[in-house]
């Protein structure tokens, strides 16, 4: 894989990242689009939902996001607080902002 393979610790590179926090919890996860990924399950431009976020660290001109299972590189991110009731909708590929609007 080009890109992510330069740093063996990076599982993938993502873009248009949204850092979602489930309201009234400290559970965070990423919704983003794949640039490149070590897994053959994901292709460029696929939507992606991570496992829970453990840590986010600024590194040079990007962020490294450590999840329960992996490390992802993202250029930036937008934060959103979501109700627990939309998590399953987001996991079907619906962007977080759209999922929240569907709830209203």
- Can you give the pLDDT at residue 7? 55
pTM comes to 0.87
Dihedral in degrees, nearest 10, Cα atoms 93, 95, 101, 103: 40
- Can you give the pLDDT at residue 102? 87
Q: What is the pLDDT of residues 2-49, one digit of tens each?
A: 344 445 589 999 999 999 999 999 999 999 999 999 999 999 999 999
Q: What is the pLDDT of residues 56-88, one digit of tens each?
A: 999 899 999 999 989 999 999 999 999 999 999
């Amino acid at each position: 894989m080009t890109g992510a393979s330069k740093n063996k610790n990076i599982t993938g590179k993502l873009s248009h990242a949204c850092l979602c926090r489930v309201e009234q919890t400290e559970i965070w996860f990423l919704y983003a689009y794949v640039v490149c990924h070590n897994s053959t399950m994901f292709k460029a431009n696929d939507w992606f939902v991570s496992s829970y976020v453990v840590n986010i660290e600024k590194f040079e001109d990007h962020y490294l996001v450590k999840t329960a299972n992996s490390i992802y590189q993202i250029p930036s991110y937008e934060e959103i607080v979501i109700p627990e009731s939309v998590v399953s909708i987001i996991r079907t590929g619906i962007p977080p902002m759209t999922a929240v609007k569907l709830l209203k």
